Amino acid sequence: MKEELKVNKCEFCGITFPLGSRNDKRFCGDTCRNSFNKKKKAEGKLPVHKNKSEILKIIKRNYEFLRKHAPQESEDEYTYVEIERLKDWKEFNPKFYTNVKLINNRPWYFCFDLGFSISDSIIEFINIPEQANILDLKK
Q: For residue 123, give every residue at least 6 positions away whose Cβ sits within 8 Å of its Cβ, in sequence order, or none.
A: 69, 80, 81, 83, 86, 116, 117
CA-CA distance, 92 to 85, in Å (whole number)? 14
In DSSP terms, 79 is beta-bridged to: 125
Q: For residue 59, give every residue at least 6 positions away whose Cβ sits within 8 Å of its Cβ, in sequence order, or none.
A: 96, 97, 98, 111
Give 27-79 pLDDT, tens digit per residue.
999 999 999 999 998 888 888 889 999 999 999 999 999 988 877 766 667 78
pLDDT at 24: 86
pLDDT at 63: 94
Local structure of residue 1 (DSSP, 8 states): -
Mean pLDDT throughout 12-17?
92
Mean pLDDT throughout 24-28?
90
Instruction: Report whether pLDDT(111) > 60.
Output: yes
Mean pLDDT throughout 11-32?
89
Q: Is the pTM of this model over 0.85?
A: no
- Cβ–Cβ contacts within 10 Å for residue 72, how many? 12
CA-CA distance, 113 to 107, in Å (whole number)? 15
User: What are phi and psi for residue 57, nearest 5 degrees?
Assistant: -65, -40
- What is the rounded average pLDDT for all residues in the chain? 86
pLDDT at 15: 93
pLDDT at 95: 94
